[in-house]
Every structure is written in C-alpha cells, then in structure tokens.
A and B are shown apart, each in its own frame.
Chain A
Amino acid sequence: MFRRLPDALPRSVAVTVDGRSVSAHAGDSVAALLLAEGIVPTRVSPASGAPRAPYCMMGVCFECLVTIDGVGNRQSCLLPIAEGMAIETQKTRREAGR
C-alpha cells in the first residue's frame, strides 16, 4: 500500500512491536513504521470496540493511539522512533487503571 521515497534513511533503529524485533528506518514516526510494516489495526476503540489505524498523520484525529514503553494511548504519528522503543498495539479496549 505504501512505497518508500528513494531517499529513505537506512534501517538502523531497533525497536519492538508487540514483542517482535523490527529494524526501523531512521526518521520514521511510530505511525509510519506501523503502516509501512502493515501492522493494522493498531488499536480498538475503547467505547465501541471497533478496529482503528493511523489516519490524519498530523496529531489531530487521535486514531493512531498505541502503547509506547508501557504508557498507553500515545499519539504514534507525533513520536519519532527511538532505539529500543517498545511499541504495543492496543488489542483490547483501553480501561482506566488496568
């Protein structure tokens, strides 16, 4: 679905997605990484349980929420990937305090 621009930076950043090691392109946002790897849906809606994935890619729609380094509902389109980052998709409806 997505094709890389010819001047993409190399796959030099090691992260994990749902526990799986992924070699990510430097400079990608977490949302870009997830879309490029075909990892969708990235969460389910807490209210309805419907599947969701990154949409606006500019911090507005809050559809791209994932858990990063143990903190839930982070906006993955606004976060650049970083070495060692643990990214988890939200497969169940997010609950308060659970």
Chain B
Amino acid sequence: MSAQTRTDYDVAVVGGGLLGSAIAWGLARLGEKVAVLDEGDGATRASRGNFALVWVQSKGLGMPEYAGWTVRSSNAYAGFVDELERETGIPVSHERPGGFHLALSDAELEARAVQLKRLHNQPGTIQYETHILSATEVKRMLPDVGPEVVGGSYCPLDGHVNSQQLLRALHTGLGQHDADYLPGYRVETIEQNAGLFTLRTPQGNIHAAKVVLAAGNANQHLAPLVGLSAPMRPERGQIIVTERVQPFLKYPVVTIRQTNEGTVMIGDSKEDSTDDRGMTLSINAMMADRAVRMFPRLASLNVVRTWSAIRVMTEDGFPIYEQSQTHPGAFVACCHSGVTLAAVHAMTLPPMIAAGALDASLVGAFTVRRFDVSTPA
C-alpha cells in the first residue's frame, strides 16, 4: 500500500469487529472514503465469540429509549441483510421467527412476567408484542420442551443470524466500497490539528477528517484521547457447542439456539472476568443441565467445543453514542449488542456521522453524559 492511499480518509473507524465494521460499511456505502484500523490476531474478539441472537424482548428496563433503538434495528435487519447479501453474495442466514425465554419453575415465570411488565410500563417505552405463555402454549410451538418447562415469554421480533458470516460479509462489502481494512494498526495516540486527525500506529500514521472509536472495551482507553469518556465493565460469557443434528428447534431460545448448519449452541452465562483463556466448569455444567431440562433430547448430543469470550459491556449495559466537544469530528460508539444493533449501526448511525452531528432525537439518550453524577451541595 502506498503512503498516498493511507493518508487521506474522510473517516477512520477504530475497531474492525461487528460494531466498527457495520458503521464503516454504512459510511462507505454513502460514498465516504473509510479506513478501518484493527488490531492483530491477538486482540480480544467479542465479535467472534458471541451467541448471535438478534434480540428484542426484555431489553430497555432502566432506559426505554434502548427498547426503541433495539426494535428499530430488529425491524431494519431484513432490509440491511438483503442489501449486504446481494452486494457480497455471502448468505448470513438471518431469521426472525420470534424467540423464547423459558422458565423452569413458577418463580422463574413470575419473575419474568414482572420484569416484562415493569419494562413495558416505563413511560415512553415503544409498544410491541411480548406474550407470557403457559406450558401448553409453549409446547404447541416448541414440541420438544421437557416436562419441567412451566411456561415462557415469546416475542415475535426476536431472531438470530450467522454472526461469523455477517462479519465476513461486512468486511467483503467494505472492500467492494473501496474502504481500506488495516489489520495490525493498533492506535496509540490521536491528535487533531487544523481539523485533521492523525492516528499514530506501529505501522505508520493515518490521517482522517473524522474518527469513530468502535474498539469495544478498549474504548475506555481511547475515548480520553479525543476528550470523551467510555466507562466499561467487561464480563465473561461461556458457550457450549454441540455436533450438528437435523433441525428441530424452530425458534431461538435466549440460552439455546440451533444454527442454520444444525449446530446447537448453549450460552448466556455472565462472570466478572477478563480472562478469555479460562473456563469455569461448574458454570458449563449448570448451562448444560438447564438446557437438557428445557429440551431433554439434547442429553444424547456430543459436545464438540466450548469457549469463553469477553462481552463488551458499558458500565450501565446500555449503548454509548457520543460526539466530542473538544475534538469536533470525533465520535465514540460502544455497545454490548453488536449483533442485534448491526442494522442501525449500518443504516441509521452512518448518515449522522457523515453529516458531522449525532441526531439527538434518535440517539440523544445514549449520551455518555448520563454517567456524570453531580455531587449534592
């Protein structure tokens, strides 16, 4: 690559995972000249360890705008995926059959119902269907549930996708829009002079008119370089993967889904850890036990892989989208749900960034200023 092609970009996106790639693809399809600065293979890759749900139900308790943003992405997903698949020829297996949260006791079902009621009772919360179903109603839709399943919640907006193929398609699409993907460009410093950003990396400097920080948990360290903050609290999740079997699970469950390839994934653990090289076996055992109680036929399946991965998580769990006051043209984007929100990150956020200002009517609630707590006098 010549020095010339490295220097002049409209936007430098820092981070090549699902969040950074979706924003970068969205910018590139608007005609922006984009560079994606990524770390190397040793980086912590949340985008390659996730569970791949496109999930709506139960999100937004404590921030109703998050429910609206999530529903917006769920509704935009089919159009987003259709354009990406047509452009790249890479199928990403997106489906939205609706999804389940299953309860294994009356107490669990009651807690679920209360949680959803509290969520939907929040003033200003977008209205959408979520149903609490009895065991009989669940069994009608999921005939393979076991006798311990007492009921569950179902939301028709829930779905899933092949997130590995999605990431690959976004990277392919970036290339087709003449964006430059730059692996090994770990950003060390960012400076702004006369409106132009200089991002220093071990492989040389990149110059761009705008910067979008989408580096997952690393945003915590990068955001202060452009006068912003990004309070993060990473957590570890574990996933169990079975052999491939004939499709039997028509709907994703929040902890169990069958991929388009026949694999069953079991997940959704949470631990305070940033070590993705370790596993807690007692947690795997509990995940497997609950999965088998939900679907007894899983008991005979061979497990072929297990892994742990680090979730990107903001301090309060909700996304952060912010623009710098001190460094005009610098933006920060952080979120846990890089899969679910990919459609809005690709279609809704990029026009704002290209225009140079976030639209407060759409993303104002996600300002990082919500973390500023004023001390009482």
Task: Please indicate whether A and B come from the same complex rather than being unrelated chains.
Answer: yes
The answer on a CB contact under 8 Å between B302 and A46 is no
A47: interface (CB < 8 Å): yes
Check: A73 CB closer than 8 A to any chain B CB. yes
Contact of B298 among A46, A72, A94, A97 (CB under 8 A): A97
Q: Is B300 an interface residue (CB 8 A)?
A: yes
B residues less than 8 Å from A95 (CB atoms):
245-246, 248, 297
- Are B246 and A97 in contact, with the CB atoms below 8 A? no
Given A94-B244, A95-B248, A96-B248: A47 and B262 within 8 A (CB)?
yes
Measured between C-beta atoms, what is the minimum distance from B256 to chain A in Å?
Answer: 11
Asked if B299 is an interface residue, CB under 8 A from chain A, the answer is: yes
Report the interface size class on chain B: 10 to 19
Are A96 and B298 in contact, CB atoms less than 8 angstroms apart? yes
A interface residue count range (under 10 / 10 to 19 / 20 to 34 / 35 or more):
10 to 19
B297 touching A98, Cβ below 8 Å: yes
Q: CB distance B299 to A46 under 8 Å?
A: no
The complex places the Cα of A74 from the Cα of B304 at a distance, in Å, of 10
Residue in B296, B297, B299, B302 whose beta carbon sits within 8 Å of that of A73 in the complex = B302
User: A94 to B343, alpha carbons, bound, how many Å?
Assistant: 35
In the complex formed, the residue of A with least CB distance to B258 is A96
Instruction: Give the residue name and chain of the A residue nearest to B292 (CB).
Output: A97
Question: Is B11 an interface residue when CB atoms closer than 8 A count as contact?
Answer: no
Contacts of A97 in B (CB 8 A): 296-301
Binding site for B on A (CB under 8 A): 45-47, 62, 65, 71-74, 93-98
Taking Cβ atoms with an 8 Å cutoff, the residues of B that contact A are: 243-248, 260-262, 264, 295-302, 304
